[in-house]
């Protein structure tokens, strides 16, 4: 009986992933790339919302990342989209792209400064069978590569802060 219930839950549990962008980003616009959300589960999910948050950018390579703050226009900041993606239904194997936001300031002492690294968390909320709430999140880090572009990847688990 327990195995049947457990097996049933595994069959209906959401398996929704957010993948980092395939393309490299301009260090002057590191969030102007597309993330991909995909429902890998065999059943559709409903009321799907992806929100981006916790964005930070390091423009020096040495200092701690700056948090967005409209009160400090001389620092980096990100205008995050409140709802980067939403859908009433995401069918099995269905994918969509979305962007997390745009920079609202990217100058220090009046001079443009390219990002050397950045972070973002994408929070997902959804419903199973329209009634069972479910949520998860994915953390990403973007690093400046040898090609002078920002490359996004999953943040290693030891760096994820709860």
Q: CATH number of the domain that 43 lies in? A: 2.60.40.10
Q: Determine the Cα–Cα distance for residues 107 and 85; give it in Å rounded to an integer.
A: 28
Q: Could you tell me which of 35, 26, 27 has the C-alpha nearest to residue 58?
A: 27
111: pLDDT confidence band, cut at 50, 70 and 90? low
> In this structure, how many other beta carbons lie within 10 angstroms of the beta carbon of residue 149?
16
117: pLDDT confidence band, cut at 50, 70 and 90? confident
Q: Determine the Cα–Cα distance for residues 36 and 21; give it in Å rounded to an integer.
A: 7
**What pTM value is reported for the model?**
0.76
Q: Determine the Cα–Cα distance for residues 45 and 32; give it in Å rounded to an integer.
A: 27
The boundaries of the domain holding residue 66 are 2-159
Q: Determine the Cα–Cα distance for residues 148 and 162; give it in Å rounded to an integer.
A: 31
Give how many domains the chain has, as a whole number.
1
Is the pLDDT reported for residue 83 higher than 80? Answer: no
> In this structure, how many other beta carbons lie within 10 angstroms of the beta carbon of residue 53?
17
């Amino acid at each position: 009986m327990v195995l049947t219930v457990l097996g049933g839950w595994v069959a209906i549990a959401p398996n929704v992933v957010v993948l980092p962008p395939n393309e490299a980003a301009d260090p002057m616009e590191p969030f102007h790339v597309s993330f991909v959300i995909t429902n890998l589960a065999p059943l559709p999910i409903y009321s799907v919302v992806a929100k981006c948050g916790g964005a930070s950018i390091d423009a020096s390579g040495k200092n701690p990342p700056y948090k967005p703050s409209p009160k400090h226009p001389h620092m980096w900041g990100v205008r995050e989209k409140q709802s980067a993606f939403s859908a009433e239904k995401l069918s099995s194997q269905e994918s969509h792209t979305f962007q997390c936001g745009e920079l609202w300031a990217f100058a220090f002492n009046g001079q443009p400064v390219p990002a050397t690294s950045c972070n973002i968390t994408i929070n997902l909320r959804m419903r199973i069978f329209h009634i069972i709430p479910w949520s998860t999140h994915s953390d990403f880090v973007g690093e400046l590569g040898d090609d002078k572009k920002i490359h996004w990847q999953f943040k290693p688990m030891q760096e994820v802060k709860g």
